[in-house]
């Protein structure tokens, strides 16, 4: 099977495995794992933040950010499809006990008018206190323009709120825009990044922010049972990925563009490449049928709704795989 379900399915490369086998380790709950420390320092530096914390998953990173960024009963504003509210089991209501207030916007960014409406009348005794705005970049593979992201962060700060960026694929955004990762993180109070997606590491994410916030995040990670001991073994994979696999994301983007062009040329299908994701639109309501036909032809994909599905290009996908996937998609489409 050509597995295009997600960029989370990658396996560590031989060089990455060697770095993991050779890693210096210590007890990270005691702050004594040199590899974890190095990963945290290099991540923070790349993001232009004071500090970063290695955590087992992007899910935990987002949940800690909400837990620290808003108090019990506070409003947290997010797109209805952002991972933090749509794919984390309602964790923000269980752990931080906040009130998610969700918007819809095709590009993932709330309009200025909506922000102003929601910020009005917050001294009303009936209202929950707005505390945090969440953004996601990339958002279903789409790069969120940095000026738009900045507008929302500035609005949050002007209204006494904080801003969190789920940058699970921030590296893809930075490469697509041709800017350093710190530019994508600029203006945010906390940023979550993943090593286990496009970068191809086996485990882990990081939450970055100012030193005081990350010190609190370290306590929150322990509260959630996320303190890890000789975590340098897995951090070494993440560190290898951070040092060697960021620039190569441009190859994934180019392959996604080539696959999208081939699929878009098929009768009845439309496709567009967004960074490393190909978003395919099937004939009305047929995305599930197309997904099943793709699987039957050996192409793993993920349905996004009744009309759309995604094919994700990653470290484990070669030029030949792209050609093969395009040919198999043509067969699947013909069988619809
Ligand atoms: C945008 C986004 N945020 C967060 C996550 C969570 O990451 P993890 O799978 O490491 O928990 C994902 C996972 O796919 C994601 O796509």
Query: Could you report the per-residue pLDDT of 79-129, keeping only the tens digit for each?
Result: 999 999 999 999 999 999 999 999 999 999 999 999 999 999 888 999 999
Residues 238 and 285 in one domain: no
pLDDT tens digit sequence for 290-310: 999 999 999 999 999 999 999
How many CB atoms are located within 10 Å of the residue 112 CB?
12
List the strands of the sheet with 302-303, edge to edge. 270-274, 277-281, 308-312, 302-303
* Ligand 1 and 238: CB distance under 6 A: no
Q: Which domain holds residue 48?
A: 14-244
- Domain membership of residue 6 (yes or no) is no
Distances (CA, A) of 124 to 52, 119, 128, 236: 37, 11, 9, 50
At residue 191 the predicted structure's pLDDT band, cuts being 50, 70 and 90, is very high
Contact criterion met (CB below 8 Å) for 213 and 190: yes
- Residue 160 region by backbone torsions, left for phi larger than 0, else alpha for psi between -120 and 50, else beta: left
Which of 7, 10, 58 best tests ligand 1's pocket when mutated (most atoms within 8 Å of CB)? 58
- Domain membership of residue 217 (yes or no) is yes
- Ligand 1 atom with the smallest distance to the CA of 138 is 1
* Ligand 1 and 166: CB distance under 6 A: yes
Residues 240 and 252 in one domain: no
Residues 177 and 288 in one domain: no
Is the full-model pTM beyond 0.95?
A: yes
Instruction: Single out the residue in 216, 244, 272 at which a domain terminates.
Output: 244
Task: Please tell me the distance between residue 202's alpha carbon and the centre of ligand 1 in angstroms.
Answer: 13
Residues 185 and 93 in one domain: yes
Instruction: Single out the residue in 210, 244, 278 at which a domain terminates.
Output: 244
Closest C-alpha to ligand 1, atom 4: 58
- Ligand 1 atom with the smallest distance to the CA of 6 is 14
Residues 67 and 151 in one domain: yes
Task: Please tell me the distance between residue 83's alpha carbon and the centre of ligand 1 in angstroms.
Answer: 7
Instruction: Single out the residue in 207, 223, 244 at which a domain terminates.
Output: 244
Residues 312 and 207 in one domain: no
- Domain membership of residue 109 (yes or no) is yes
- Domain membership of residue 3 (yes or no) is no
Instruction: Read off the CATH number of the domain in which 31 is found.
Output: 3.40.640.10
Q: What pLDDT, on the 0 to 100 scale, is given for residue 285?
A: 85
Instruction: Read off the CATH number of the domain in which 300 is found.
Output: 3.90.1150.10
At residue 155 the predicted structure's pLDDT band, cuts being 50, 70 and 90, is very high
* Ligand 1 and 196: CB distance under 6 A: yes
pLDDT for 219 beyond 90? yes
Closest C-alpha to ligand 1, atom 8: 58
Give the pairing type, strands 205-209 and 190-194: antiparallel
Q: What pLDDT, on the 0 to 100 scale, is given for residue 335?
A: 86
Contact criterion met (CB below 8 Å) for 205 and 231: no
pLDDT for 336 beyond 90? no
Task: Please tell me the distance between residue 58's alpha carbon and the centre of ligand 1 in angstroms.
Answer: 5
Domain total for the chain?
Answer: 2
At residue 211 the predicted structure's pLDDT band, cuts being 50, 70 and 90, is very high
Residues 50 and 128 in one domain: yes
What percent of the chain shows pLDDT beyond 70? 100
Task: Find where tokens 């939450």 sit.
Answer: 207
- Domain membership of residue 297 (yes or no) is yes
Residues 276 and 289 in one domain: yes
Residues 179 and 311 in one domain: no
- Domain membership of residue 71 (yes or no) is yes
- Ligand 1 atom with the smallest distance to the CA of 62 is 4
Distance CA 154, CA 147 (A): 10
How many CB atoms are located within 10 Å of the residue 267 CB?
9
At residue 284 the predicted structure's pLDDT band, cuts being 50, 70 and 90, is confident
Question: HSE on the CB side for 309, CA within 13 Å?
Answer: 25
- Domain membership of residue 151 (yes or no) is yes
Region 196-212 average pLDDT: 98
pLDDT tens digit sequence for 231-257: 999 999 999 999 999 999 999 999 999
Q: Of 283, 256, 279, 278, which is closest to residue 267 (Cα–Cα)? A: 283
At residue 179 the predicted structure's pLDDT band, cuts being 50, 70 and 90, is very high
* Ligand 1 and 79: CB distance under 6 A: no
Q: What pLDDT, on the 0 to 100 scale, is given for residue 134?
A: 98
Residues 268 and 232 in one domain: no
* Residue 211: partners with Cβ closer than 8 Å, 6 or more residues away: 50, 51
Residues 224 and 279 in one domain: no
* Buried-exposed string 234-265: b where 16+ CB fall within 10 A, e elsewhere: bbbbbbbbbeebbeebebbbebbbbbbebbee
Number of helices (H) and strands (E), helices first, in the chain? Answer: 14, 13
pLDDT for 258 beyond 90? yes
Q: What pLDDT, on the 0 to 100 scale, is given for residue 283?
A: 86
In sequence order, what DSSP letters do the residues of 202-271 get, joined into one string? SS-EEEEE-HHHHHHHHHHHHHTT---SSTHHHHHHHHHHHHHSSTTHHHHHHHHHHHHHHHHTSTT-EE
In sequence order, what DSSP letters do the residues of 92-115 get, joined into one string? IIIII--EEEEE--TTS---HHHH
Residues 280 and 152 in one domain: no
- Domain membership of residue 2 (yes or no) is no
């Amino acid at each position: 099977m050509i597995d295009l379900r997600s960029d989370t399915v990658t396996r560590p490369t031989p060089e990455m495995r060697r770095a993991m086998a050779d890693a210096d380790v210590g007890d990270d709950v005691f702050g004594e794992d040199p590899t974890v420390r190095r990963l945290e320092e290099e991540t923070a530096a790349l993001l232009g933040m004071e500090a970063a914390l290695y955590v087992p998953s992007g899910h935990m990173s987002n949940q800690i950010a909400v837990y620290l960024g808003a108090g019990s009963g506070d409003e947290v504003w997010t797109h209805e499809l952002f991972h933090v509210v749509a794919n984390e089991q309602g964790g923000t209501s269980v752990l931080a006990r906040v009130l998610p207030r969700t918007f819809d916007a095709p590009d993932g960014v709330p309009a200025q008018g909506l922000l102003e409406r929601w910020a009005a009348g917050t001294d009303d005794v009936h209202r929950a206190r707005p505390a945090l705005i969440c953004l996601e970049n990339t958002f279903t593979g789409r790069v969120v323009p940095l000026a738009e992201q900045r507008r929302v962060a500035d609005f949050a700060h002007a209204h006494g709120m904080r801003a969190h960026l789920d940058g699970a694929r921030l590296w893809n955004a930075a490469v697509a825009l041709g800017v350093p990762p710190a530019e994508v993180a600029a203006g945010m109070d906390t940023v979550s990044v993943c090593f286990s997606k496009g970068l191809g590491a086996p485990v882990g994410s990081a939450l970055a922010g100012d030193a005081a916030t990350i010190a609190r995040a370290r306590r929150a990670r322990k509260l959630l049972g996320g303190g890890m001991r000789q975590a340098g073994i897995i951090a070494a994979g993440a560190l290898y990925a951070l040092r060697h696999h960021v620039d190569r994301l441009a190859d994934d983007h180019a392959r996604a563009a080539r696959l999208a062009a081939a699929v878009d040329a098929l009768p009845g299908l439309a496709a567009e490449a967004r960074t490393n994701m190909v978003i395919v639109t099937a004939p009305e309501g047929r995305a599930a049928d197309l997904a099943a036909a793709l699987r039957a032809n050996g192409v793993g994909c993920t349905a996004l709704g009744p009309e759309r599905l995604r094919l994700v290009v990653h470290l484990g996908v070669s030029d030949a795989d792209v050609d093969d996937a395009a040919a198999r998609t043509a067969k699947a489409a013909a069988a619809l």
